[in-house]
């Protein structure tokens, strides 16, 4: 038991109060008073003042004992993990000059891998760093353009039609990589070049342009 708990119990007995009666006056449970007097529960200064008022005369030294006991408790220093702080500093520093660019599947819902590229002026390869991506080629229908299944294409999120460029598109609920060529009016030509060159004329509004591809890393 601590000095404070001893003095509270002593003052309560002198006042002729049971633990239950003291608890009722303070608006707490009897078990709480029992734990305080046994030293298992530490009370705050506010409750200490309330106890002093209830027990009255001769109780002022409880507050003094409480302050002495608190001040005598050893101060615990919370250790700072310097290694983590240093790591965070380096991570923040590198994030401004190196970007982990995700490698996606055609649905852009699964990250297959990541590749690091330098960031220059908040851009990667001249493109805003928040837009860039890699795309793993899933089919052989663009091999005539040297874009083969398993290759990794670099590009960026882009929704506008640009003539004779290669895009990741969605058409008839299927995603694919195609070269787009503008025709008359709102018509465009979808070009794929696998075993042979194939084309399909569609209206621009019937396709969804998702990303523009700029170059391919060839898998040997």
Residue boundaries of the structural domains of the chain: 3-72, 99-217
**Residues 167, 213: contact at Cβ < 8 Å?**
yes
The answer to whether the predicted template modeling score (pTM) of the entire model surpasses 0.85 is no
The pLDDT score that the predictor gives to residue 194 is: 87
The fold of 99-217 is Umud Fragment, subunit A (2.10.109)
CATH number, span 3-72? 1.10.260.40
What three-state secondary structure class fits 70? helix
The whole-angstrom separation of Cα 41 and Cα 43 is 6
Residues of the chain with pLDDT under 70: 1-2, 57-96, 219-220
Q: Is 4 exposed, middle or buried (0-12, 13-18, 19+ CB in 10 A)?
A: buried
The pLDDT score that the predictor gives to residue 137 is: 96
The pLDDT score that the predictor gives to residue 49 is: 80
The pLDDT score that the predictor gives to residue 63 is: 52
The pLDDT score that the predictor gives to residue 70 is: 47
The pLDDT score that the predictor gives to residue 195 is: 85
The pLDDT score that the predictor gives to residue 117 is: 95
The whole-angstrom separation of Cα 78 and Cα 69 is 21
């Amino acid at each position: 038991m601590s000095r404070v708990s001893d003095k509270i119990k002593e003052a309560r007995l002198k006042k002729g109060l049971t633990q239950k009666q003291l608890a009722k006056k303070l608006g707490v449970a009897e078990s709480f008073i029992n734990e305080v007097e046994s030293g298992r529960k530490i009370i705050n200064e506010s409750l200490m003042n309330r106890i002093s008022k209830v027990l009255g005369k001769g109780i002022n030294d409880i507050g003094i004992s409480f302050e002495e006991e608190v001040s005598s408790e050893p101060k615990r220093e919370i250790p700072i993990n310097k290694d983590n702080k240093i790591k965070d500093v380096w991570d923040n520093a590198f994030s401004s000059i190196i970007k982990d660019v995700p490698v996606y599947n055609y649905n852009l819902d699964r990250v297959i891998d990541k590749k690091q590229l330098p960031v220059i002026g908040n851009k990667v390869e001249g493109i805003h760093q928040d837009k860039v991506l890699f795309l793993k080629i899933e089919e052989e229908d663009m091999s005539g353009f040297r874009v083969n299944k398993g290759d990794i294409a670099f590009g960026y999120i882009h929704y506008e039609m640009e003539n004779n460029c290669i895009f990741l598109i969605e058409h008839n609920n299927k995603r694919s990589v195609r070269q787009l060529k503008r025709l008359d009016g709102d018509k465009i030509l979808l070009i794929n070049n696998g075993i042979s060159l194939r084309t399909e004329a569609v209206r621009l509004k019937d396709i969804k342009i998702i990303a523009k591809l700029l170059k391919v890393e060839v898998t040997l």
